[in-house]
Amino acid sequence: MAISQHTDLAKDAAAAAPARSDAIPHVKILTSYIGLLCFGKSDFEAIEAFRHDPYFAEALDVD
């Protein structure tokens, strides 16, 4: 929530590299990675452990 409220990450990510309409928005990927970093996980493949975690998805506003 703080990322969305206090940064322009979504706008900046879209401006830097526009995504196709059928692709996952860059801001969702970046937000998920920031969440992983908060857990001490630096490998994006660690996202698999959180794929079905409703709290992780809700806290980061990702699907």
The predicted structure's pLDDT at residue 49: 92
Read off the pLDDT of residues 31-55 as tens digits, 9 standing for 90 and up.
899 889 999 999 989 999 998 999 9
Distance in angstroms (rounded) separating the CA atoms of residues 63 and 61 = 7
Read off the pLDDT of residues 1-12 as tens digits, 9 standing for 90 and up.
777 788 888 888
C-beta of residue 4 within 8 angstroms of C-beta of residue 13: no
pTM over 0.85: no
